[in-house]
Structure 1
Amino acid sequence: MSKFLRGTMILMAAGLVTRVLGFVNRIVIARFIGPEGVGLFMMAFPTLMLVITITQLGLPIAISKSVAEANAAGDRIKIKKIMTVSLAVTVTLSAILTPALIVFAPLLTKSLFTDSRIYYPLIAIAPIIPIVAVSGVIRGYFQGKQNMKPFAISQVIEQLVRIFLIAILTKTFIPYGIEFAAAGAMIASIFGELASLFYMFTMFKLKKKFRVRSKFFQAVRTGKETLYELFRVALPATGSRFIGNASWFLEPIVVAKSLAIAGVAASIATKQYGALTGFALPLLMLPSFVTQSLSTALVPAISEANAQRNHKLVESRLNQALRFSLLTGGISVILLYVFAEPLMAFMYGTSDGAQFIKIMAPFFIFQYYQGPLQATLQALDLAKAAMINSLIGAIVKLVVIFSLTSQPNFGINGAALGIVTSMLLVTLLHYATVMKRIQFTIDATSLILFTIVTLASGFLGHWCYNHLFQSYSENIRLVLGLIITSLLYLLLLLITKQVNRNDLKRIPIIKKFI
């Protein structure tokens, strides 16, 4: 098995565990603080992500790409310079931006958000910025070496720590008010990231073959060329992330203001936004652990192949990634669309947000395609084009959200439509940009067969749920419905030859039984 596939499988396995643990986190939060508390959490979170994006400056992706190229050339001195320069930049920015967020939090809360309670979660989460910044540098190093295990394990450790602390802290702070309980959930996230960083830092010290502290400042002073090389990739890449996170930062503000125009009270708007972004979107994003794993492994893999001018390998790896994304995304779309209401009730104790899943699920197949396409653009030095595509999508999203959400007939559903409109547009723009550089073909017959398989398994699964399992309790009906639909999907993929024996052999757990 190639490094690319092995790294992808490791990340996918850890991603699956992390997602499951992440859902446990969300279930605990939802049970303790409800949609309104989740809304406060989710309205503060985009501000944090925007600051982290500015702090990291896209360096993790640039480090991954540069380390992969330097490693291919056997240049250990270059790798040390990459690490020292990156650490110097991120630590300096963290020291500036962390106190800045704390100082300006009251102004942000008062001037931008309609709910003043967002102040407490915003203050609570600020200390996570330097932790995530340093963690991103070390992560980029391991990804550049195509060693995905440290990052994968660190993600699992982070979620385990968060689960343990969220249950304690939210329960401790809930008597003081819902805003303090949301702040408690933020504090749990800090300790989770800290545990993740401690593990990765330990692995970094054990695995590296150079001394970072040795002549650190000399390496920084003489690393101008390395800094320019990193920024050549990092700034356009951070441009895409900055646009995405700036759009995410503005999203709750635009939603809240639009709902206010539509006559919705601030507390109700917070609750509705919590149901959309805290309940529905995490379920819809579940298969993204596959696309994120593929994307993470794809950047160094394509960078290395491109550096060796092996264009056939570049095309092959992209096609592999897109195929995996399509097949895993298809089953997610079916299960979420067919079982939206019972899934929400089972996981969160409420069906609030099920209508968002019904609206958005059919379009999310494009989101699962978007990650590998963006990773390919970054690996081929087309990060600037990806940034422009993201900018167009962000502007369209905010315009659609404001136009529709401010109308009483649409309300919060307008936000859901704005998100999927942007998602569809950016994916198509990324695809068109990649096509200009790589001449790869998509099998139309396979796409038609995939569509038939998706619709058929969804219809049959829905029929079984409503007719064969009526005598069982709701939870048993749900479990049986999910299992039957998944098996039907896999069986139809095998019958139509969309998945074959060799594909299954690549999955270690299944390989034992074949």
Structure 2
Amino acid sequence: MFRKKHSLIKGTLILTSAGLVSRVLGFFFRIFLSHTFGEEQVGLYQLIFPFYALCLSLSTSGLETAISRSVSRFHSLGRTQDGKLIFQTGLILSVLISLICTLLVQKNSVFLSNRFLGDPRCATLLYLIVLALPAASVHSCICGYHYGLQSTSVPAISQLIEQFVRISSVFVLYFIFIHNGVHPEIPLAVSGIIFGELAAAGYSLFSLKKKGCDADSPYILSISKSCSELLRLSVPLTVNRTAITFLQGIEAASIPVCLELASHSASDALSIYGVLTGMALPCILFPCALTNSVSLLLIPAVAQKQAESSSKETFLLIKKAAGGCFSLGLLCSVFFLLTGSFLGNFLFHSALAGNFIITLAWICPFLYTSSALLSAINGLGLTTLTLMINLLGLSIRILSVYFGIPHYGITGYLWGLFISQSTVCLVALLTLSHEIKKEYLQSVESATD
């Protein structure tokens, strides 16, 4: 019982430790990219990520969360073999979808870069980055399986391997190019993503094979029923993530365009976008190593409490997680307000990055807390509500792009981010309060009957 009670804390500590190391490595890697390739090239690099995230949403994100939730539920009921069957089904589906996405994007990379990203230079980057999709699918599904078991060692180690291989491969290739008298371009950084995901997938598969699949419980689900169970959970999540990522892609592609409407040249607009997304935002998101760990583990933990019909314990679990994230956000907000200018100049040699960090510091409490609250809502199985809340936040952000940037420049978008994050946090909190109260009243009525 003691072990079960503290599994969330232990898992969070493991994931947070790995996440912090990974983010430290990634942070200095971004400094290397900004100094080596320049703000405009970093802007191009950042421009393709919303599209890559869209492909991941279609092939991986919903299935990973569905695997995590289903494995956790079956494991708590003693049906471990059904949990393994769910995982195997999800893995096959995810890899198939990722292969389809890879082929489609590579075939249409020039059209997509011209029509949707607005810069033909993105075609090569798109063609390269989708090569990482199949490996990312394998990696994510295996992580989802371990999250469902509330075992975090494999996801943590694979995260470190992915980041280490990604960075080291770029450094090695960079020095090889320099040694041969060739100045490397930004596609070199994209190749690191491919090597990193391949390494993480390889380790994840090895660890899964080493773990083995002993028949410790009978099968109850058939393959068709496991597929149906998985799709029932994953389709709303996939639609959720895909819709959100699609809107994020529109948001990202529109920022440079709207900056041009605010009297910036195309080169300056891309540079401002690169400073914001490649320098300032990584600083603000650095503490998310902790909050993301909490969010990942909240989904199976809340699902397990719900399966046990323990609404009071669910409420206490969410309260502690959200309260911790909000407290961290307040501390980080003060820190970035006091040190933003120094960080921008010292780390990136950019006064603009410092100004962005100071402005974005206000969103920290809401940004960190909302991730935990939305994960708790997913853990309760209310994925449609999560979709609606995220769409509300994104709508505010997109409005700030089209109406805020042309009139107030990039500052209009930054304050749009603040309004968006605070709104999402408040609505998610009200939603959780209502749902937990409803479940508690239902359990009281059932006990009375």
User: TM-score normalized by structure 1?
Assistant: 0.79
User: Which residue number corresponds to residue 118 of structure 1?
Assistant: 122
SS, match of residue 116 in structure 1: coil
Aligned position for 2:277? 277
Distance 2:86 2:243 in 1: 25
Report the alpha carbon displacement of residue 326 of structure 1 after superposing the two structures with TM.
1.8
Contact 1:53 1:241 survives alignment (8 Å) = yes
Q: What is aligned with 1:367?
A: 367
1:34 is the counterpart of 2:38: yes
Distance between the aligned counterparts of 1:183 and 1:199, measured in 2?
A: 25
Aligned to 2:210: 206
1:288 aligned partner:
288
The one-letter amino acid of 2:297's match is: A
Deviation at 1:40, TM superposition (A): 0.7
Does residue 43 (structure 1) correspond to residue 41 (structure 2)? The answer is: no
Secondary structure (helix, strand or coil) at the match of 1:352 reads: helix
- Three-state SS of the structure 2 residue aligned to 1:38 is helix
Q: 1:11 to 1:57 in 2, by over 3 A?
A: closer
Could you tell me which residue of structure 2 aligns to residue 160 of structure 1?
164
Take 1:357 and 1:111, find their aligned partners in 2: how far apart are those partners? 31
Q: CA deviation at 1:305?
A: 1.1
Distance 1:430 1:223 in 2: 35
Letter in 1 for 2:329: G
- What is the match of residue 312 of structure 1? 312
Q: Per chain length, whose mean CA-contact separation is higher, i.e. which structure has more relative contact order (CA < 8 Å, sep 6+)?
A: 2
Unaligned runs of at least 5 residues, structure 2: 439-449
- After superposition, the C-alpha distances for 1:19-70 in whole angstroms (9 at most, x for unaligned) are 1111121111112112112111100111111011111250111101100111
**1:396, 1:348 → 2: CA distance?**
29
Which residue identity is paired with 2:227? L
Deviates more, 1:257-266 or 1:371-380: 257-266
Q: Is the 8 A contact 1:389 1:430 kept in 2?
A: yes
Amino acid at match of 1:267: S
Match of 2:239, as an amino acid? G
> Within 5 Å, which residues of 2 pair with 1:77-92?
77-92=81-96
Structure 2 match to 1:322: 322
The CA distance in 2 between the partners of 1:127 and 1:368, in whole Å, is: 31
Query: 2 CA distance for matches of 1:207 and 1:331?
Result: 40
Q: Is the 8 A contact 2:327 2:365 kept in 1?
A: no
Q: Which residue of 1 aligns with 2:253?
A: 253
Native 8 Å contact 2:35 2:348 kept in 1:
yes
User: Could you list the per-position Cα deviations for residues 188-238 of structure 1 after superposition, in whole angstroms to 9, with x for gaps in the alignment?
Assistant: 111111111111111111124249xxxxxxx9x942222222222222222
Q: Which amino acid aligns with 1:147?
A: S
The verdict on how the C-alpha distance between 1:367 and 1:173 changes in structure 2, with shifts beyond 3 A counting, is farther
Please give the alpha-carbon distance, in whole angstroms, between the structure 1 residues aligned to 2:175 and 2:383.
44
Superimposed CA distance per residue, residues 408-458 of structure 1 (whole angstroms, 9 cap, x where no aligned partner): xx2222232232222222222211111111249xxxxxxxxxxxxxxxxxx
Query: For residues 431 and 18 of structure 2, what CA distance do their matches in structure 1 show?
Result: 31
2:22 matched residue in structure 1: 18
Tell whether the 8 Å contact from 1:71 to 1:79 is kept in structure 2 after alignment. Answer: yes
Equivalent pair of 1:173/1:181 in contact (CA under 8 Å): no
Counterpart code for 2:401: I
Q: Is the Cα contact below 8 Å between 1:158 and 1:193 reproduced in 2?
A: yes
Determine if contact 2:132/2:197 at 8 Å carries over to the other structure: yes
| Counterpart for residue 444 of structure 2 | none
Give the match for residue 463 of structure 1: none
Aligned residue number for residue 435 of structure 1: 433
Q: Residues 428-467 of structure 1 correspond to what in structure 2 (within 5 A)? A: 428-439=426-437
Q: Deviations over 1:162-200 (max 9, x none)?
A: 2212223356668877xx622110101111111111111
* 1:327 CA displacement: 2.3
Contact 2:330/2:364 (<8 A) preserved? no
CA-CA distance at 1:138 after TM superposition: 0.4
Structure 2 residue aligned with 1:422: 420
Letter in 2 for 1:188: G
Once residues 14 and 287 of structure 1 are traced to their aligned partners in structure 2, the CA distance between those partners, rounded to angstroms, is 12
- Structure 2 residue 84 is matched with structure 1 residue 61: no
Q: Return the alpha-carbon distance in structure 1 between the equivalents of residues 168 and 383 of structure 2.
A: 39
CA offsets 1:127-180 (integer angstroms, 9 cap, x no match): 011111111110110000110011011111111112212223356668877xx6
- Count of matched residue positions in the alignment of Structure 1 and Structure 2: 428
In 2, Cα distance between the equivalents of 1:45 and 1:202?
28
Structure 2: distance between partners of 1:78 and 1:335: 47
Q: Secondary structure in 1 aligned to 2:352?
A: coil
Unaligned runs of 5+ in 1: 212-218, 441-514
What residue in structure 2 maps to residue 413 of structure 1?
Answer: 411
Q: Decide whether the 8 Å contact of 2:341 with 2:358 is kept in 1.
A: no
Q: Quick one: distance in 1 between partners of 2:238 and 2:174?
A: 33
Aligned partner of 1:6: which letter?
A: K
Distance 1:241 1:176, change over 3 A: farther
Query: What SS is found at the alignment partner of 2:38?
Result: helix
Alignment partners' CA distance in 1, 2:294 and 2:61: 22
Q: Distance in 1 between matches of 2:174 and 2:51?
A: 21
Matched, 1:342 2:342: yes
Matched with 1:94 is: 98
1:169 partner amino acid: L
Q: Which moved more, 1:359-368 or 1:261-270?
A: 261-270
Tell me what 2:230 maps to. 230
User: Could you say what secondary structure the match of 2:409 adopts?
Assistant: coil
